[in-house]
Amino acid sequence: MIETPEGADVLIAHDSWSPTSGHALTAPASHLDAARVAHLHPPGRGLTDAVPVELTATDVGVPDSLRGVRVVVALGHFLGAGRLAHGWALALGVPFVTVQHGLLAPSMAPLAVDTVLLAWTAEDADFWCSGRNDVATHVVGSQLLWSAAQQPGTVADERPVFLGQLHGAELPRRGFARASQQFCRATGATYRPHPAEKDKLSTLQHRLWERRGMEIDRDGGSLSEIDRPVASVFSTGVLEAAARGLPAWVHYDRPPEWLSQFWERYGMSRWGRDPHPTQPRGIPEGEPARRVAALIEEMAKP
> Using one digit for the tens of pLDDT, what is the confidence trace for 244-267?
999 999 999 999 999 999 999 999
Does 106 reside within a domain?
yes
Residue 129: domain span: 2-141+285-299
What is the domain-level CATH number for residue 42?
A: 3.40.50
* Count of structural domains, the chain: 2
Residues 101 and 194 in one domain: no
User: Is 31 a member of any domain?
Assistant: yes
Answer yes or no: is 272 within a domain. Answer: no
In a domain, residue 276? The reply is no
**What does pLDDT average to over the chain?**
90
If asked whether residues 69 and 161 sit together in one domain, one would say no
Q: Encode pLDDT of 9-49 as tens digits.
A: 999 999 887 888 889 999 999 999 988 899 888 665 433 33
Q: Is 275 a domain residue?
A: no
Instruction: Verify that 132 and 174 share a domain, yes or no.
Output: no
Confidence of residue 277 (pLDDT cuts 50, 70, 90): very high
Are 245 and 290 contained in the same domain?
no
Same domain for 193 and 164?
A: yes
Structural domain includes residue 271? no
Average pLDDT over residues 218-233: 90
Shared domain for 260 and 133, answered yes or no, is no
Look at residue 258 and tell me if it is in a domain: yes
pLDDT at position 156: 94
Mean pLDDT of 89-111: 95
Backbone φ and ψ of 163, nearest 5°: -85, 115
pLDDT at 302: 85
> Can you give the pLDDT at residue 11?
94
CB 236 within 8 A of CB 263: no
Check whether residue 123 and residue 175 sit in a common domain.
no
pLDDT of residue 183: 97
In a domain, 280, yes or no: no
Same-domain status, 6 and 137: yes
Question: In the prediction, which pLDDT does 46 show?
Answer: 35
Position 56 pLDDT exceeds 60: no
Q: Which of 233, 277, 272 is nearest to 251 (CA)?
A: 233
Please give the average per-residue pLDDT across 59-79, as a whole number.
88
Is there a single domain that holds both residue 79 and residue 17?
yes
Q: Are residues 176 and 253 in the same domain?
A: yes
Q: Which of 49-53, 228-232, 266-270 has the lowest mean pLDDT?
A: 49-53
- Do both 127 and 101 map to the same domain? yes
pTM: 0.90
pLDDT digits (tens, 9 = 90+) for 124-165: 999 999 989 999 999 999 999 999 999 999 999 999 999 999
**Cβ pair 283, 273 in contact under 8 A:** no
121 and 162 share one domain: no
Q: Give yes or no for residue 57 having a pLDDT over 80.
A: no
* Across 193-211, average pLDDT: 94
